[in-house]
Every structure is written in C-alpha cells, then in structure tokens.
Amino acid sequence: MVLQAVRYQPGSLEILNQLKLPHQEEYDAVRSAEDGWHAIKEMRTRGAPAIAIVAALSLAVELQNSTLSDKAEEVAALVVEKLDYLVTSRPTAVNLADAARKLKKIVESAAGAEQSSGDSVAKAYYDAAAQMLISDVSDNEGIGKYGAEWIEKQAGGGKVSVVTHCNTGSLATAGYGTALGVVRSLHSNGSLKQAFCTETRPYNQGSRLTAFELVHDKIPATLITDSMASALLRLKGSAERITAIVVGADRVAANGDTANKIGTYQLAITAKYHGVKFLIAAPRTTIDLETKSGADITIEERAGKEMTMIKGPRFDGVDLDLNQQETVSIAAKGIDVWNPAFDVTPADLIDGIVTEIGVVEKDSNGKFDLTVAMEAHHESVKPNSVGGL
C-alpha cells in the first residue's frame, strides 16, 4: 500500500495526521481554508510541497461546499483574500506563496474572461488546485530519477549509501518524495546499499516519519541522531560507501543558498570536510529567484516547548498503549530556549540542486545559475543537462 499524506476528491479533503505517526494512521477531514491553516500551523501536515497542496485544496473544498455569489469578481476577491490568509500559516517554505501567486493569477484571469460567472471562477480555481496534486508526484519521480543517476555517477559504479535529513518523502509531498524520492530511486535501481536517516531534533521528522516510510517500503536503513553524522562519515564513510548527503529544501534563493530543516547546514559542513557530495533535491516550485540570497529568507521560530517536551504513547516496558498519549519534560525547568525550525546552507557547500528537469551544477565561476532551470521546459531539457547549458 502506498503512503498517502493527502486524500482528495472533489468536495472532500483528508490529511494523514502526522502528529500521530508512526504509531497511529489517522486521517483528519479538512473542510475549509481555516481548517487547512490550522492543520499546517499545528504540523498535522508538513513539508514544503504538502503544505502548498493542502492549503490550495482546503480552499477548493470550501468553495465546492459553499453557495457562492454568481458574480465572478466577488468569487475572485474571496479566493484572493483566503489565499492571503493561508500564506500566513508558515513563513519559510516558498511553495505555498508560489502556489498562492499562481492560483491568484488563474482566478483573476478567469474573472476577466468573457461570460465569466462565480461558478466559472471557482471551477478554474479548483481545477488548478487539483492539478497541483497530480503534478507534484510526477515532478518527484523526475527528481528521484535524475538525483539517483547523479549520485551513481559520482560513485563510479557499485552500490552506494546516502544520508538524509528530516522527512522529504510521501508524507511531505503528494507522493514519492524529493530527497527521499532519490533514495527510493536508488533502491529501485538496485544501487542502494544503506540509507542513513537522522532523527531530526526537535520535531523528529526523521525518526518518526522518514524511518516509518523506509520501514514501510522495506528500504535498508539505519537511524542516527543528528549529533552522530560526522562520526558516521568518519568511521563508516568508506566501508559503507557513503557518497552523498541528500536533503530537501523549503526555499532555494537565486544564488543557490538553501533554507531547509534545522541541522541541514551542519550536515553540509561535515559533508565538505569528509569529501562527501551534498545534494539538494527540490521541485522548481521551491526555487525563488525573487529571493537573492539566504540572508533574505525569513526563518520560522517555533515554541520552546517543542524542544523541552516530548510526546508519545505510553510504554509500559513491553507494549505501547496507544490510548494513552503522554507528554514528558526533557529539559531543566526555567531554561531559555531558541528553536529555529530551519537554517540556511550557503551555496558554497552545495554540489548540486536536482529538480524535476535535471541536476544544476555550478558554472566555471563556481556559481549556480538557476535562471536556466527556471526558464527551461521539461520537454526541451535532457537528463542531467541543466548544469551544462
């Protein structure tokens, strides 16, 4: 069975509640933009592409289940207002703002069309929102394919191991995943020796979600804490043939600086020190040419209690009691806490950025030119040729 973070059909949207994973698989109904905003803010759904898709579809189901004005401009204004609200749920991932910008353009042009009506504007909106769910899966399959080929080429044959961080799989997207899609592709090509996934403190997307996906798909994998990554590369790097660290992204700036889950930056530093490739895997909707460098990216800070408390089902030494969720304090009471959800990895530390149309590498000046990738069309770009254009 394929893991599905988002279940949509016209009029109905459900999200897998990721706060309950890995122990319980429960779907929550999302009936409105307000429900979508809360699901994103509370991390019941998360991951840059999934956030954008859930936000867009939450408004689609609201429109599908409401009595709308028959005036095209009124429906367009309502959609724009709700999209602006949805964008306020989480600030760092650009996919949501990018989706909102594209959807606003679609409804504005539908409202301006001849013989437009409230219904025609609403239909243009939810058709476009539904298409995002479909395109995300095919984009991820492209990312997986090109990323796996690139890593296999770096290793020059034989099986490879990789390290990944946070959760970038089916749970963070409409399906397949970005960095975890690369891991899936390596595995299905028969070239994966071992995937190492970090725990990803403080929210544990690695141990709760990525480990869950890896076990679910029977991919050979080992869990480490974030603080073990350098020791892993030093002590097991050559025996395990660790060729790359592959991670996702929440926003890639025009110069290649990349915001991703907190802890990504230290992984890039240790990759460079140990001569391991560092690959960013993201759809082009995550590239933001308007943001010139990492210094311009807003980093979300989350509540201190996400670091000082840990939640999970009660364990009596033998069994888990799924009916008893407990919160346990794991820090000294009164300590000050800093809890940034993301960090920025400078482009200097990144070897490649793989999107659905190929891998972008640095040019002869040691710079990423992401405009080429953004302007290229799928059909016109050959595998792995973006960096060479």
The catalytic residues are: 250
Residue 341 lies near ligand MRU (rule: CB under 6 A): yes
Are 171 and 3 contacting, i.e. CB atoms less than 8 angstroms apart? Answer: yes
Distance of CA 378 to the CA centre of its chain: 21
* Cα–Cα distance measured from residue 48 to residue 376, given in angstroms and rounded to the nearest whole number: 22
Q: Using CB under 6 A, pick the residue from 207, 260, 291, 355 that binds ligand MRU.
A: 260
Q: Using CB under 6 A, pick the residue from 62, 98, 149, 250 that binds ligand MRU.
A: 250
CB of 166 to ligand MRU, least distance (A): 4
Indicate the residue among 343 and 369 with the shorter CB distance to ligand MRU. 343
Structure tokens at 225: 């804490």
CB of 239 to ligand MRU, least distance (A): 28
Instruction: Give residue 314's identity as a one-letter amino acid code.
Output: R
Q: Which residues, including other chains, have CB under 8 Å from residue 153's CB and lie 6 or more apart?
A: none
Which string of x and - marks every residue 33-62 that binds ligand MRU (by CB under 6 A)? -------------xxxx-------------
Indicate the residue among 118 and 147 with the shorter CB distance to ligand MRU. 147
Q: DSSP characters for 195-263?
A: EEEE--TTTTIIIIIIHHHHHHTT--EEEE-GGGHHHHHHHHTTTTTEEEEEE--SEEETTS-EEEETT
Are 250 and 286 contacting, i.e. CB atoms less than 8 angstroms apart? Answer: yes
Q: What are phi and psi of 181, to 5 degrees?
A: -65, -35
CB of 172 to ligand MRU, least distance (A): 4
Indicate the residue among 341 and 354 with the shorter CB distance to ligand MRU. 341
Indicate the residue among 47 and 256 with the shorter CB distance to ligand MRU. 47
Indicate the residue among 82 and 208 with the shorter CB distance to ligand MRU. 208
Query: Smallest Cα–Cα separation from 253: which of 384, 370, 162?
Result: 370
Stretch that binds ligand MRU, among 30-38, 152-160, 246-254, 360-368 (CB under 6 A): 246-254
- By CB under 6 A, name the binding residues for ligand MRU: 46-49, 93, 166, 168, 172-173, 178, 205, 248-250, 260-261, 341
